Structure 1
Amino acid sequence: MELLLETVALFCLKLAYETEDSSPILRDDSMMSDYEQELFGLLVRRADVGAIKQKVDECLGLASDALGGVGKPLGRELNKLAVVFRSAQTVEQLGAPLIAIKNYLKDIL
């Protein structure tokens, strides 16, 4: 789960901040410090669904803005996936929506 959370965050930040003329954003970049695997691991072990959702929502907001928001087709689809993610009540319920978000972001990167 921790790796999946970190991957979603990484893809969101890549979408929001990476440009063709810059070096790629990597997992060990400073901008990933609030979204690294160890932090997510701690939240998962604590079963802190609220904090996990908050962290992922921060990233999804950046990605949505980069896609033009819900007024644009790509942003609208990301929002639909985010709504399903936000409805999860347990750590276990986060898995399937996160996989869908990860796959969607991977496809549009």
Structure 2
Amino acid sequence: MELLLETVALYSLKLAYETEGHSPILRDDPLMGGCDREVFGLLVRRGDLVGIQGEIGRCLGLALGAVGGVDSVLGRELGRLADDFWASQTVNELCTPLNALNVYLKNIQ
């Protein structure tokens, strides 16, 4: 799950900050901040749903802004997928919405 969390964060930040012609954002980029596999691993082991949702939520908010907000076509779908993520009640329930977010964010890059 840690890799999936890190990947969703990475794709979100790429969407928000990566510009054509500049160096790509990588997993070890300072922009990733607390969104790396080790931090997510700790949060998952603790069962810290709020912590996970907070870190991913910050990244999704940036991605949503980059696609024009919830009023844009891309933003409506991203918002719908994010709502499914927020509806998760346990860490184990995060897998399905995270997979959907991962696929969607990768496709709109």
- Tell me the TM-score normalised to structure 1 length: 0.98
**In structure 1, what is the Cα distance between the partners aligned to 2:19 and 2:31?**
15
Amino acid at match of 2:77: E
The aligned amino acid for 2:18 is: E
Residues in 2 aligned to 1:46 and 1:108: alpha-carbon distance in whole angstroms: 32
Unaligned runs of 5+ in 2: none
Superimposed CA distance per residue, residues 40-83 of structure 1 (whole angstroms, 9 cap, x where no aligned partner): 00000000001100110000000000000001000010000000
Aligned residue type for 1:52: I
Partner SS state of residue 34, structure 2: helix
C-alpha distance in structure 2 between counterparts of 1:73 and 1:33, whole Å: 29
Structure 2 match to 1:58: 58
Q: Which residue is equivalent to 1:78?
A: 78
Provide the rounded CA distance (Å) in 1 between the counterparts of 2:20 and 2:107: 17
Paired letter, 1:96: T
What is the rounded CA distance, in whole Å, between the counterparts of 1:69 and 1:33 in structure 2? 23
Letter in 2 for 1:27: R
For residue 79 of structure 1, what is the amino acid of its counterpart?
Answer: G
Pairing of 1:12-91 with structure 2 (within 5 A): 12-91=12-91
The range that moved more, 85-94 or 26-35, is: 26-35
Q: CA RMSD in A?
A: 0.5
Query: What percent of counterpart residues are identical?
Result: 59
Compute the displacement of 1:33 (Å): 2.7
For structure 1, the 5+ residue unaligned runs are: none
Give structure 1 regions of 4+ aligned residues with deviation exceeding 4 angstroms.
Answer: none
Amino acid corresponding to residue 102 of structure 1 in structure 2: N
Give the aligned residue type for 1:73.
V
Match of 1:11 in 2: 11
